[in-house]
Structure 1
Amino acid sequence: MTTNTAVPALPTRPQARPSLRLALTPDGPRPRLDGAWWPHSRNLAAQLPDLIAELDRTWGRITRAAVHDTAWTQLRHSVPTGSHDIRVNWYDSAHDPHAITLFSYRIGEWELLVVPPETAPWRAKQLMTAAAHPGNQRTARALLTHGPAEPSPDTAPRDRIHIRTRHAHDPDPEPAAAAAAGR
């Protein structure tokens, strides 16, 4: 005689979402780029919601994004972000493939360098720091092609630039950034 004993299911942990990797230019004169974003994949529909959630808090409600169509997969004209849908326009030649342009009714237009997901961490940090530097005048394409330029001495020091990483369950990125910076 065999007895079937039910094996209790092991509790499953919710799959942790990867952290948001974002560096924004500090307040001051308007640079060429407003910062950098290093997504974890080229799936725009999966990556955009966390970026928009963060930028809605920083810049005001983001309403639209523009990207280069060959740089992304899962392109849709509308991406749900939790609180609202974002209209996404994609272009084949008019837009830098290494940038995302975001639009907000309150602030206007912002452009971020998009660091390719497969970039080595040391290189991604270098590119994000350069893109978020207030003295940067290089385009996203130029940064990825030629690398960062040396900052001029009259611009803000690099130690004012913080690369924010935030997990989906962590509402405030600043303590993690402050701890990483040794403050």
Structure 2
Amino acid sequence: MTGPDKARLNLDPDLARRGAVDGAWWPTGYDAGAELPALIAAIDQRLQRRVRRVGLHVDTWHNIPRHIAAPGRQVKVGWFRTIDPHVVNLIIPGVEHLNLLVIPPDTPPVAAAKALGLATRCRGRTRPGDILTAAGPDNPTASADADTAANALGLAGWDNEGGQPRQPARRSPAP
């Protein structure tokens, strides 16, 4: 992959940190050395800011370099087991950080396009894996439009403690 115009990327336009991810990226493979330069260039170009660091899951990617050459700098690359395997994290001055959903390279184009859209519409605590499941071709509701799916996913977020689906608030019984 070469150049920012080749990066299959969708960013939340306001980057308001309302969701678990700030957009989505659909790389052509899991070779970090080959894929990250185009992602970094695309983010630099779209945000008019320079990516300083990239973090990714060590077991998801191969050929992970310590640095990626970018115009006028070297971007540090960190690999972790604690980061979600479906996320790449970018540190950018002036922006808290970006968490991008990584759409698996072998995802069918229709499902990938839906995931690219859902990642910018899902608000709340929707997990990256839930977005991929909702956009997947095996999901019976995957034919729903992206806004409907995003609303459904927003209600399906998980509680931070205990991993239980959020329940609607219950009314107190009348006295």
Going from structure 1 to structure 2, the CA distance change for 1:137 and 1:62 (only over 3 Å counts) comes to same
- Matches of 1:84 and 1:51 in 2, distance apart? 15
> Is 1:54 aligned to residue 42 of structure 2?
yes
Q: CA deviation at 1:146?
A: 4.9
Letter in 2 for 1:84: R
Taking only aligned residues, the RMSD between alpha carbons, in angstroms, comes to 2.7
Of the two, which has the highest radius of gyration?
Answer: 1
Deviations 1:114-157 (A, max 9, x none): 0011111011011111001163641212222454872339x9xx
Match of 1:178 in 2: none
2:122 touches 2:150 (CA, 8 Å); kept in 1?
Answer: no
Equivalent residues in 2 for 1:115-126 (5 A)? 115-126=103-114
> Is residue 65 from structure 1 mapped to residue 54 from structure 2 by the alignment?
yes
The residue number in structure 1 matching 2:9 is 22
Return closer, same or farther for 1:87/1:118 CA change in 2, 3 Å cut-off. same
1:128 maps onto 2:98 in alignment: no
Note the residue ranges of structure 1 that are not aligned, 5 or more in a row: 1-14, 156-183
Would the aligned equivalents of 1:48 and 1:81 in 2 still touch at CA under 8 Å? no
Q: Distance in 2 between matches of 1:36 and 1:115?
A: 7
Partner amino acid, structure 1, of 2:62: T
- Name stretches of at least 5 consecutive residues in structure 2 with no aligned partner: 136-141, 143-147, 155-175
Residue identity in the other structure for 2:51? I
CA distance in 1, matches of 2:55, 2:73: 17
Point out 4+ residue stretches in structure 1 off by more than 6 angstroms: 15-18
1:26-55 alpha-carbon deviations (Å, 9 max, x no partner): 226422211000011111111111111111
In 2, are the aligned partners of 1:65 and 1:86 still within 8 Å (CA)?
A: yes
Q: Say which structure, 1 or 2, has more relative contact order (CA 8 Å, 6+ apart).
A: 1
Say which SS state the counterpart of residue 100 (structure 2) adopts: strand
1:150-161 alignment runs, 5 A limit? 150-152=149-151
Task: Work out the CA distance in 2 between the residues paired with 1:110 and 1:88.
Answer: 14
SS of equivalent residue, structure 2 residue 33:
helix
Q: Is the 8 A contact 1:38 1:114 kept in 2?
A: yes
Q: How many residues align?
A: 139
Q: Structure 1 residues 81 and 135 mapped into 2: Cα distance closer, same or farther (>3 Å)? A: same
Given that 1:30 and 1:134 are in contact with CA atoms closer than 8 Å, whether structure 2 keeps it comes out as: no
Give aligned-pair identity as a percent: 29
| Corresponding residue SS for 2:76 | strand
Alignment CA distance shift 1:97-1:81 (3 Å): same
Q: What TM-score, normalized by structure 2, do the two folds share?
A: 0.70
